[in-house]
Chain A
Amino acid sequence: MIEFLNIRKAFGSQVVLDDVSLTVHPGQIVYIIGKSGAGKSVLVKHVLGLIRPDAGIIRFEGQDITRFRERDFYPLRKRCAMVFQHSTLFDSMTLLENVALPIRKHKGLSHADSLAAAREKLALVQMEALADRAPADIGDGLRKRVAIARALTLDPMYIVFDEPTTGLDPVSAVRVDRLIRRLAVDTGVTSIVVSHDLRSIFSVADRVVFLYQGKVHLDGPPTAFRASTDPVVRQFINGLPEGPMEL
Chain B
Amino acid sequence: MSTFVQGLFHRIGAWFLRLAEVVGELALFTGQVGRATLRPRIDRFELWRCLYRVGVRSLPIVAVTAFFAGAITVLQVGSYVVKLRAYEVVGWGFGFSVFREIGPLLIGLMFSGRVGANATAELGTMTVTEQVDALRTLAIDPIDYLVLPRILAQVVMMTLLYSLGCLFALVGGVVTAWSLIGVDPWVFWNSFTEYVLVADFLNGLTKATMFGLLIGVVSCGFGLSVRGGAPGVGRAVNACVVAAAVGIFVLDYFLTYLLG
Contacts and interface: CB of A to CB of B under 8 A. Distances in A.
A78 interface: yes
A58 B141 CA distance: 23
Nearest to B53: A92
A84 B140 contact: no
Interface residues of A, number: 23
A106 B131 contact: no
Contacts of B126: 90-91
Interface string B8-49: 000000000000000000000000000000000001010000
A105 B45 CA distance: 11
A82 interface: yes
A78 B130 contact: no
A111 B131 CA distance: 22
Interface string A84-128: 101011110000000001100110000100000000000000000
Most buried by A among B126, B131, B139: B139
Contacts of B145: 105
A91 B132 CA distance: 12
A181 interface: no
Contact of A81 (B43, B45, B129, B137): B137
Nearest to B138: A102
Contacts of B138: 77, 81, 101-102, 105, 150, 154
A86 B129 contact: yes
Contact of B140 (A48, A50, A101, A111): A101
A77 B126 CA distance: 20
Contacts of B134: 82, 84, 88-90
B139 A82 contact: no
Contact of B133 (A74, A84, A89, A101): A84
Interface of B: 43, 45, 125-126, 129-131, 133-134, 136-141, 145
Interface of A: 48, 50, 70, 73-75, 77-78, 81-82, 84, 86, 88-91, 101-102, 105-106, 111, 150, 154
Top 6 closest pairs, chain A to chain B, by CB? A77-B139, A74-B139, A88-B134, A82-B137, A102-B138, A88-B130
